Amino acid sequence: MPAADGFVRFAADRVRNASPSPTVAVSDKARKLKAAGIDVVDLGGGDPDFITPAHIRRAAIDAMNAGDTHYVASNGIPALRTAIAHKLANDNGIHVEPNGVLVTPGGKQALFSAAMAFVQPGVDVLVLDSSWVSYVPMIELAGGNAVRIELDPDDGFTVHKETLEAAITPATRVILVNSPNNPTGRVLRAEELEAIRSLALEHDLLVWSDEIYEKIVYGDARHVSLASLPGMAERTLTFNGFSKAYAMTGWRLGYVAGPTPLIAEIAKVHSHSVTCATSFVQVGGVAALEGDQGIIGEMVAAWDRRRQLVTDGLNAVNGLRVAPIEGAFYAFVDGRETGLDDVALAGRLLDEAHVAVVPGSAFGDAGTGHIRLSFATSDEALSTAIQRIGSMLGSRT
């Protein structure tokens, strides 16, 4: 009987050519080292260290105990779709009907379903790099071509209209935007949003706006939804979820909102793949949106403090530079002055300093020479990591 791994040759090319998530790989390696008794500070993932607020947990538990453990409407329970529509109107200036909302098991699933619905061979999707590690594989798994637009780190990863224009092809159908950005921590400014808006209008493009970090902004930074801008509502899909703002990563609850005809196409993929998001989890989502929002401010205040801790601490380390972080909870650290490439630097930090970070090149070539670390963890863990990194690389003189 042949070995089972011999049948890997039957796997589809699009799957065999796809790379596993680099961020997951880093966290997996860190867990293995911890299991072996090594004290590793894992800054590789993006999981808030806060527990989901009690009123959200209670709502889901009560729903489960009441027997809400069955299939629900594929697009999401009416109460949650209505609450999301109200939230989008009040917080973002986006006006959709509840039928323009599709609830999914996580924001990642919403993006993947959209890719399956709108991307196929012969379609180009513009991706602004540095970008989250799963965007390009999603596009490629759907058969499309991801056109990476490398934003210049020495220009603060700023979006310019001419840079976007240079990447347009006759096959371009979609531009994918993420602000606040993972991994760079950038929040798009008014002129950058206008560059994207004018490009989309001039070339009749769909815009996919991933706004999962919208509530996590610092200082003078302000999040503005692309779908709220003139002429954008009919061509923009807004992706969001509950993982970051409400510390609900393990609940897997997200959504996509936009024009009802576009949502209906994504819903076909959704219904044939995951059927529906978990019933009682959706009740928790209603409680999250309709309950006290103060927990968000408390978490953001903690992350703001940690942002400053990481910025000050790593800027004092030889060869490292941290640009201002405007949103999300990541530091995209420029390590080019260390003389090490980012993969080697991340490897040495894990093996020698026992600090897990992600190489910047995992987020596209624009991130080469950088490392990404999450500060969605305790002050103590961050202080330990900074001390270990400083001991390995030395202090800036």
Q: What are phi and psi of 269, to 5 degrees?
A: -65, -45
- Residue 16, classed as helix, strand or coil, is helix
Tokens read off for 144: 């499309």
Match 């310019």 to its residue by tokens.
160
- Size of the chain in residues: 397
* CB-based contacts of 8-14 (< 8 A; 24+ apart in sequence): 14/140, 14/141, 14/143
- The pLDDT of residue 279 is above 70: yes
Nearest to 251, CA basis, from 286, 224, 275: 286
Average the pLDDT over 348-371 and give the result. 96
Nearest to 292, CA basis, from 53, 47, 85: 53
Runs of H (alpha helix) within the chain: 13-16, 22-35, 54-65, 78-87, 107-118, 135-141, 161-167, 190-203, 260-273, 279-290, 294-315, 342-348, 379-393
Mean of per-residue pLDDT scores for the chain: 95
Characterize the bridge pairing of strands 124-129 and 172-178: parallel
Q: What are phi and psi of 361, to 5 degrees?
A: -65, -15
Average the pLDDT over 207-217 and give the result. 98
Q: Would you state the pLDDT for residue 3?
A: 66
What percentage of residues in the chain have a pLDDT greater than 90?
89
* Residue 197 neighbours by CB under 8 Å, 6+ apart: 226, 229, 230, 231, 232
pLDDT digits (tens, 9 = 90+) for 299-318: 999 999 999 999 999 999 99
CA-angle at 377, arms to 373 and 383, nearest 5°:
75
* Residue 9 neighbours by CB under 8 Å, 6+ apart: none
All structural domains of the chain, each given as residue ranges with its CATH number in brackets, are 4-51+295-392 (3.90.1150.10), 70-290 (3.40.640.10)
pTM of the model: 0.95
- C-beta neighbour count of 303 within 10 angstroms: 23
